[in-house]
Amino acid sequence: MNEEIDPAPPESEGEVQFEGALRPKSLGEFVGQSKVREQLVLLLDAAKKENRTPDHILLSGPPGLGKTTLAMIVAEETQQSLRITSGPAINHAGDLAAVLSSLVPGEVLFIDEIHRMARPAEEMLYLAMEDFRIDIMVGKGAGATTLPLDLAPFTLVGATTRSGLLPGPLRDRFGFTAHLEFYSEVELTEVVKRSSAVLGLTWPTEALGEIASRSRGTPRIANRLLRRVRDYVLVHDTAPDVDSVQAALLLYDVDELGLDRLDRAVLDTLIRKFAGGPVGLGTLSVSVGEEAETIESVVEPFLVRQGFIQRTPRGRQATPAAYAHLGHEAPSRNDL
């Protein structure tokens, strides 16, 4: 799966290491998202002046846009250690209690995919975020009682690809929330330039720009494509120019707008099996053979941004631009 140029989180050890090497270490190195960066600087500076832990931070947006990176930067900039866990790893309130009770003062706790945390843990988190305190259940049944436990002050950084799934009371307890947007081509060119410099590559700007333009607005994908093109150039012993980028990405099924095989499968299914829609997410996901959550949080945001899909109350609908991109003739319907 990971050899695909898909926007899913990194899975192989090699890619985790590769990403680690390319990850910006400070807000100054972090490309784009200028508003969020500015707001974060303010938040961290204010906390520093008052000698307290910064407010809890919620970051939302599709995978690969820099949520984990920002959590690491918050820890780095506040010179605190970082503890990383994820919603799916917290199945019981006890899992969370174990993490929270072992935090050292000032530590940054990063919970990725926070919307997938178990409900009882979520409720425990409310109190922990608000008062740095939790109630631990002791015993069972009628004899059960709760023991209050004070926690070290900490900063929670929560990340989610689905902020809509986060319960209101949890969202309200974050002092700062930010939605990360897809990156522009100019910003992604900067990302790829920075990465190529870290890797010691001196490639022409046009080739790097070509990679950026096919990166689905996502830094993780930009870095992944850079790696694939580097492999291609190495194996074919060819120049790292635009032609090589195009040839390499053709091989990896990434088209000129950055759509990958799954993006195109969704559009193709929508157009050919459902006459362009509208069709519900569940039906679409079964037809494509991909989980509804992946389609909703990974595929759709980009296709909507590109103007290929419209979300209507009756379901997903392909736009005339989607027909054109896939080389189909759009039906002459007024409601498209």
3-state secondary structure of 207: helix
Contacts of 99 (CB under 8 A, 6+ apart): 83, 85, 90, 109
**Does the protein bind ligand ADP through residue 30 (CB under 6 A)?**
yes
Which of 179/272 has CB closer to ligand ADP?
179
Q: Catalytic annotation on 172?
A: no
**DSSP annotation of 290:** S
Task: Give, as one character, the DSSP assignment of residue 176.
Answer: E
SS3 329: coil
| Token code pair at residue 29 | 């190195």
Identify the active-site residue in 161, 218, 269, 294: 161
| Tokens standing for residue 292 | 């509804």
Tell me the window of 49-57, 62-70, 102-110, 228-236 that interacts with ligand ADP (CB under 6 A).
Answer: 62-70
**By the rule CB under 6 A, 31 interacts with ligand ADP:** yes
User: What is d(CA 185, CA 217) in angstroms, rounded to the nearest whole number?
Assistant: 7
The nearer residue to ligand ADP, 23 or 216, going by C-beta atoms, is: 23
65 binds ligand ADP (CB under 6 A): yes
Using the contact rule CB under 6 A, the part of the chain among 20-28, 81-89, 133-141, 325-333 near ligand ADP is: 20-28
Distance separating alpha carbons of residues 230 and 252, to the nearest angstrom: 13
Which helix (DSSP H) or strand (DSSP E) does residue 227 occupy? helix 219-236
Closer residue to ligand ADP (CB): 225 or 279: 225
Question: Exactly one of 216, 220, 227, 264 is catalytic; which is it?
Answer: 220
Is the Cβ of residue 53 or residue 69 nearer to ligand ADP in the bound state? 69
Is 68 marked active-site? yes
* Contacts of ligand ADP in 162-221 (CB under 6 A): 191, 219-220
Pairing relationship of beta strands 57-60 and 155-160 according to DSSP bridges: parallel
Q: Supply the residues annotated as catalytic.
A: 67-68, 112, 161, 220
Give the footprint of ligand ADP on this chain (CB under 6 A). Answer: 9, 19, 22-24, 30-33, 63-69, 159, 191, 219-220, 223
